[in-house]
Amino acid sequence: MCVSTCLLGATKHGLLDTDLVSINIGARNDNKQSQKEKIVVADKTLTLDQFRTLRKDNWWVAPLLVVVGLGGFAIYATWAALQNAHYYYEPYLSPFYSPCIADNCTHVTLPLIGSWWNLSPAFLILWIPGGFRATCYYYRKAYYRSFFLSPPACAVRDAGKSYSGETRFPFLFQNLHRYFFYLSLVILVFLWWDALLAFKFPDGIGMGVGTIVLCINAALLTIFSLSCNSCRHICGGYLNSFHSAPGKYKTWSFITRLNEMHMEYAWVSLIWVALTDLYVRLLSMGAITDLRFF
């Protein structure tokens, strides 16, 4: 009956051609042992199984934009990590390489990994924010619909013939989202430290465009992280009653308000972190100059 509900709702909002389509739901099969949903199109009776969708609007635009956005970011981030260069321009450190914890870093934040590591130091860090976003509830919805077409939109049939949910490998790792959230908080501390260091130039305290870029990046990533459902649960969502915990209720209410725009924060922070890396990279390459305010 779910398909019928979606179709009826879509018809109500003008997404289906009501002049050609009528829906008949009933027990109409030869052995009368099951119910089938049937539609009449141009005087021909067909089952819903014979249609991918009856929607006539541009339902495919949203999934396509997600493929372009997430796919483009994944390609750029992978390319930037593989470069292992142009990620530091004093005093700015790219967030893709922060914290830089290997001895082969151009700017070492914390020397935890010795000289034996000869790959890009970005790979020591990116798996944390990458895992946090990959297991995020919003991003799961976005790439399930766009990349896996499961389903691509309401009242549109799934691409796959079977559905196993998140009960199989590798989707079992989605349960690690809360732990990626904890690790991302550590990364946020270093990003704020980088933002503070962005005020410290070789000639003294100052502020440039890069300073503002790094501060905005840290702020956006903080809002995105705090608005996630795991943070909402930790701040009080696990309680059965807020009556005896008014402080947690206030915190939970604040995070809930942030959570209402979690999708928007996800996209804005994703785009901005890529632009931040690009800005530092162009400075390091000498393609642009950093405007100093003081």
Q: What is the pLDDT of residue 93?
A: 98
pLDDT confidence tier of residue 47, bands split at 50, 70 and 90: low
Lowest-pLDDT range of 138-142, 210-214, 278-282: 138-142
Model confidence pLDDT, tens digit, residues 167-197: 888 888 898 999 999 999 999 999 999 999 9
Q: What is the pLDDT of residue 163?
A: 76
pLDDT for residue 4 is more than 50? no
C-alpha torsion 231→234→239→245, nearest 10: -100
Give the Cα separation of 148 and 151 in Å (integer).
8
pLDDT for residue 135 is more than 50? yes
Entry pTM: 0.81
Model confidence pLDDT, tens digit, residues 241-254: 888 899 999 999 99
pLDDT for residue 37 is more than 80? no
Q: What one-character-per-residue DSSP string does 160-211 give?
A: SS---TT-STTGGGGGGHHHHHHHHHHHHHHHHHHHHHTTEETTEE--BHHH
pLDDT for residue 39 is more than 70? no
Q: What is the pLDDT of residue 85?
A: 96
Q: What is the pLDDT of residue 149?
A: 86
The mean predicted confidence, pLDDT, of the chain is: 85
